[in-house]
Structure 1
Amino acid sequence: MSTPAPRSSYANGSVANMVRSLLVIGALVAVLVAVVPRVNNVSQPPVDVSGASAEVARDSGWAIERPEGLPDGWKATSVRYVRSTDGLMTWHAGYQSPTGNYVAIEQTKDATSGWVEAQTNRAAKTGTTEAGGRTWDTYVRNGKVQNSLVNKGAVGQLTTIVTGTGTFPELTAFADSLRPVPKG
């Protein structure tokens, strides 16, 4: 009969052995963190609101609007034309203001009250204001910071909402910059 090999001192489960193991694992994790590339959220490809809006205006036949001549510091962050609440196709263009707030335009034809509620985050109507030659209803959602300007279109017309975390002066400046998109 053969005698078993002597037991290794590393198999004793001592605190010193556990610390050595953790140091080895920590070094491996540090190497992985250093080697794996991370996405940089600061750089984002440019958003072509002009091109997208021209395509939507041409394809939909709607007289959609987009901001033009915004002061320096405004940056386009998103653009889309998608089916939204109540199945309504919605034109959207989102921007970051110079102060870092988010402001977007939402437009649809024959808006329902459900669509307006969804776009304003079920905010309460608080009054009216003038911007861009139109009268807008103002909405404020206190629990979640969201302010909105709503210009309800008649039957067969577009309803325009300027909404986001922006202040009312930012929303008004944005609404002042809205211009019709040429269809051709």
Structure 2
Amino acid sequence: MSTTSVPDTAPAPAVQPPARRGLGSLRSMVISMVVIMVAGLAWFAMVPRVREITQPAVDVTSVAKQVRQETSWAISQPQLPAGWKATNVRFTAAGDGLRTWHAGYLSPEGNYVSIDQTQQATDAWISAQTSNGRAEGTLAAAGVTWQELSSRETVQRSLVSRGSGSTELSTVLSGTAPYAQLAQFAEALKPVPAS
């Protein structure tokens, strides 16, 4: 008899799936997030930040003297007490062609006040300087009767003194200051010397 023997083959072991190393665990993900947040906070803490923007000093007096010499206009400049800061000064031609002397200041309380002066001011020039201000009354300051105007479009208040004749300057004092502070600003105006 012949016997054939069937080779004894053991069943092949089951193939194990590869380890899930790339997927990680929830614990690993939390640790990674904490490390990233700590690094981000450290970076944020080291970056310098500006707490206050300081503006360079503006020399109103030298520009005022130059305008006075070039135009022979009797422009005014305020002699303000300590605490006021000049922020801008210019002499430009407005949209209607009128040359305008302008100087802006910040009060100690943080209110903005400016002076604008020109010869032969038009209604359009007054309207532009006062942001289309509407008349509210008058007040007397520095020996002048000023017209009070308030803009409905902005928080701007203005005092206006219109020059009479072709050589007298019209003056507009404008800003976010109350009328009382605008009147104090008017009292501080002094003519710029001719030389």
Q: TM-score, normalised by structure 2?
A: 0.76
- CA separation of 1:172 and 1:26: change in aligned 2, threshold 3 A: same
User: What is aligned with 2:111?
Assistant: 101
Structure 2 segments unaligned to the other structure (5+ residues): 1-19
Quote the Cα distance in structure 2 between the aligned partners of 1:133 and 1:123.
Answer: 23
Deviations 1:52-88 (A, max 9, x none): 21112112222111001x2332222221112223132
User: What is aligned with 1:72?
Assistant: 82
Q: Larger helix proportion, structure 1 or 2?
A: 1
Q: CA deviation at 1:143?
A: 4.9
- Size of the alignment, in residue pairs? 178
Higher Rg of the two aligned structures: 2
User: What is aligned with 1:111?
Assistant: 121
Structure 1 segments unaligned to the other structure (5+ residues): 1-5
> Contact (CA 8 Å) 1:85, 1:118: kept in 2 or not?
no
Of 151, 169, 180, the residue aligned with 2:180 is 169
Aligned-pair identity (%): 44
> Contact (CA 8 Å) 1:124, 1:139: kept in 2 or not?
yes
Does structure 1 residue 8 correspond to structure 2 residue 22? yes
RMSD between superposed Cα atoms in Å: 2.7
Q: CA deviation at 1:20?
A: 6.7
Does structure 1 residue 181 correspond to structure 2 residue 161? no
Of 145, 148, 163, the residue aligned with 2:158 is 148
Quote the Cα distance in structure 2 between the aligned partners of 1:61 and 1:108.
Answer: 12
**Matched AA of 1:60:** T
**Matched AA of 1:168:** Y
> Contact (CA 8 Å) 2:131, 2:153: kept in 1 or not?
no
Q: CA deviation at 1:156?
A: 3.4
> Contact (CA 8 Å) 1:85, 1:114: kept in 2 or not?
no
**Matched AA of 1:98:** P
Deviations 1:37-61 (A, max 9, x none): 4445342222211112111211222
Q: CA deviation at 1:92?
A: 1.1
User: What is aligned with 1:3?
Assistant: none
User: What is aligned with 1:47?
Assistant: 58
User: What is aligned with 2:132?
Assistant: 122
Quote the Cα distance in structure 1 between the aligned partners of 2:73 and 2:36.
Answer: 61
Quote the Cα distance in structure 2 between the aligned partners of 1:85 and 1:25.
Answer: 56
Q: Which moved more, 1:97-106 or 1:42-51?
A: 42-51
**Matched AA of 1:115:** W
**Matched AA of 1:71:** P
- CA separation of 1:53 and 1:40: change in aligned 2, threshold 3 A: farther
Quote the Cα distance in structure 1 between the aligned partners of 2:37 and 2:93.
Answer: 49
Deviations 1:92-147 (A, max 9, x none): 11111222211110111221111110111111011211111111111112452111
